């Protein structure tokens, strides 16, 4: 069975620090026709090759990152951001003569980007760091299942480092996935899988790629010319085209509402690498990458797809069903956009009109509704060995199908307290059979400025009453037949 946590992945490439300055915009400066941003918060996350590593760690892979940075405060922030994202080991060749590559984005509280400031490192220093990494390559490759070369053309991935890494992977039978940036793809010859976007492929092919046939022809031609195992051209809304030794394959894009395409290429590279490192075939890897990209672009900013979130989507379930970590990030995105998050929870074993009435009322108390759903194990612990009647996957799918529900999160404990602590809702809601003070998590929500509410139940309509009526009807049928 494929398990993300069994995959050991190494990412080598141009590492960056992404800095976000977020604030409220409500006036134009009298000094110049520019918006005035009242700074509310500041945060950091890994960028470039760091985002690929964070994406692999988000899936659950054991991830190592090798790159370069300056010897400056931004390097310290980058290391902390990588640690926070779950990257287990980080090898950064610090170059005192350079600066850490940093992109600063000024964004509104609706997450609209207002300005970007780029701080690049000294290219010669980053090339020297690439030479240092080449000398350490054998140690870096030890015990790895897959390698990703994440090239942002900042200097770290020198031609000699790329050549040495690809050759070493070939010798060790380790898949090597390359996300290219250099105009001349000959630097990546012999890789397992090359993943240019359409613009990069067009430049490498030196001709327009305006339709499916032209893209397919270029993919096959580049694969052969570069002695690649596989060539994948990513095409945004038009999906992905794969060339292999067995032929050509097209993977349509997952149709979702697009919020932000930032980092989608990194998501694709990470999922492809994780799948190949775990022993999956390249076509299955491409299908998984397409689904993951569809999830990522549905979120503002650079979103890291979680392993269980992707597993659920690959089984054909609604993207509304999220892992606790994915739900936490989603709720944070909602609040950044100025939307109030509402939370409620329950077993929902046999979804009925009473549930629907309460859920619709809960949704009206805010802008986005998260439903915490007791897992099968949790329901058994609360209601006995004969419950639930409906399994957790089916209960989750039914809830996700309701227009008033924006996210569904399964939890195993007897109460959703830990989940509430992660989600940090603005509004906590339960049915009218609860007192405000008796609602689990009420103290947590009120302590952070949120509110707690109850909703009247539909009289005479509950799962228990439905079960009782069913048993009575069955008993009457047996009596009449006797």
Tokens 């089916």 belong to residue: 394
Cα 9 to Cα 12, 51, 144, 305, 453, distances in angstroms: 10, 13, 6, 16, 46
Rounded-to-integer distance, Cα 354 and Cα 432, Å: 12
Residue 408 φ then ψ, to 5°? -125, 130
Q: Do the annotations mark residue 197 as ligand-binding?
A: yes
Rounded-to-integer distance, Cα 74 and Cα 381, Å: 49
Rounded-to-integer distance, Cα 296 and Cα 292, Å: 6
Query: What does DSSP say about strands 15-28 and 35-48: parallel, antiparallel, or unpaired?
Result: antiparallel
Residue 139 φ then ψ, to 5°? -70, -40
Q: Is 86 left (phi over 0), alpha (psi -120 to 50) or beta?
A: left
DSSP 297-320: TTSSSSPPPPHHHHHHHHTT--TT
Count of CB atoms situated within 10 Å of the CB of 293: 27
Cα 184 to Cα 38, 159, 187, 230, distances in angstroms: 44, 11, 7, 17
Residue 69 φ then ψ, to 5°? -155, 170
Q: Do the annotations mark residue 200 as ligand-binding?
A: yes
Smallest CA-to-CA distance from 395 within 434, 431, 345 is with: 345
Provide the 8-state DSSP code for 121.
P
Of 266, 349, 376, 406, the active-site residue reads 266
Rounded-to-integer distance, Cα 58 and Cα 322, Å: 13
Structure tokens at 260: 């932000």
Contact 52, 12 (CB under 8 A): no
The reply to whether 418 belongs to the active site is no
Q: CA-based angle 405:409:413, to the nearest 5?
A: 135
Rounded-to-integer distance, Cα 453 and Cα 145, Å: 50
Contact 49, 12 (CB under 8 A): yes
Peptide bond into 291 cis (omega under 30): no
Structure tokens at 138: 């054998």
Contact 198, 183 (CB under 8 A): no
Q: What share of the chain is helix, strand, coil (3-state, %, to 5)?
A: 40, 25, 35
Q: What angle, 0 to 180 degrees and rounded to 10, lies between the N-to-C axes of helices 73-84 and 49-59? A: 20
Known binding residues are 197-200
Known binding residues for ATP are 197-200
Catalytically annotated residues: 266
């Amino acid at each position: 069975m494929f398990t993300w946590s069994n995959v050991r992945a190494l990412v080598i490439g141009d590492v960056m620090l992404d800095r976000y300055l977020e604030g409220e915009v409500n006036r134009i400066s009298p000094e110049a026709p520019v918006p005035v941003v009242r700074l509310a918060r500041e945060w950091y996350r890994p960028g470039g090759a760091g985002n690929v590593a964070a994406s692999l760690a988000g899936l659950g892979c054991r991830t190592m990152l090798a790159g370069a940075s300056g010897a400056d405060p931004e390097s310290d922030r980058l290391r902390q951001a990588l640690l926070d994202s779950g990257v287990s080991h980080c090898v950064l060749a610090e170059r005192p003569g350079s600066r850490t590559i940093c992109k600063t984005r000024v964004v509104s509280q609706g997450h609209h980007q207002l300005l970007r400031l780029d701080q690049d490192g000294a290219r010669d220093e980053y090339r020297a760091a690439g030479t240092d990494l080449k000398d350490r390559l054998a140690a870096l490759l030890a015990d790895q299942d897959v390698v990703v070369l994440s090239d942002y053309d900042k200097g770290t991935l020198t031609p000699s480092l790329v050549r040495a890494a690809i050759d070493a992977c070939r010798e060790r039978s380790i898949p090597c996935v390359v996300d290219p940036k250099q105009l001349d793809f000959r630097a990546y010859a012999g890789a397992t899988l090359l993943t240019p976007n359409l613009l990069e492929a067009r430049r490498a092919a030196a001709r327009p790629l305006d339709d499916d046939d032209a893209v397919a022809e270029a993919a096959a031609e580049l694969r052969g010319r570069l002695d690649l195992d596989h060539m994948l051209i990513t095409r945004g809304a038009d999906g992905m085209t794969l060339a292999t030794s067995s032929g050509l394959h097209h993977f349509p894009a997952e149709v979702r509402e697009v919020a932000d395409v930032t980092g989608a290429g990194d998501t694709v590279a990470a999922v492809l690498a994780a799948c190949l490192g775990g022993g999956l075939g390249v076509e299955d890897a491409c299908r998984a990458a397409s689904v993951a990209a569809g999830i990522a672009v549905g979120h503002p900013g650079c979103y890291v797809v979680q392993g269980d979130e992707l597993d659920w989507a690959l089984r054909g379930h609604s993207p509304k069903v999220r892992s606790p970590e994915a739900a936490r990030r989603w709720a944070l995105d909602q609040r950044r956009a100025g939307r109030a998050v509402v939370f409620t929870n329950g077993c929902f074993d046999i979804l009925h009109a009473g549930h629907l009435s309460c859920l619709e009322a809960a949704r009206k108390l805010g802008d986005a509704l998260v439903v915490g759903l007791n897992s099968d194990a949790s329901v058994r612990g609360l209601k006995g060995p004969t419950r639930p009647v409906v399994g957790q996957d089916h209960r989750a799918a039914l809830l996700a199908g309701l227009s008033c529900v924006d996210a569904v999160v399964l939890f195993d404990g007897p109460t959703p307290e830990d989940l509430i602590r992660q989600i940090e809702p603005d509004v906590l809601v339960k049915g009218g059979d609860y007192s405000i003070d008796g609602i689990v998590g009420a103290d947590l929500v009120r302590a952070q400025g949120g509110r707690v509410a109850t909703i009247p139940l539909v009289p005479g309509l509950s799962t228990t009453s439905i079960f009782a009526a069913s048993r009575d009807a069955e008993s009457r049928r047996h009596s009449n037949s006797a």
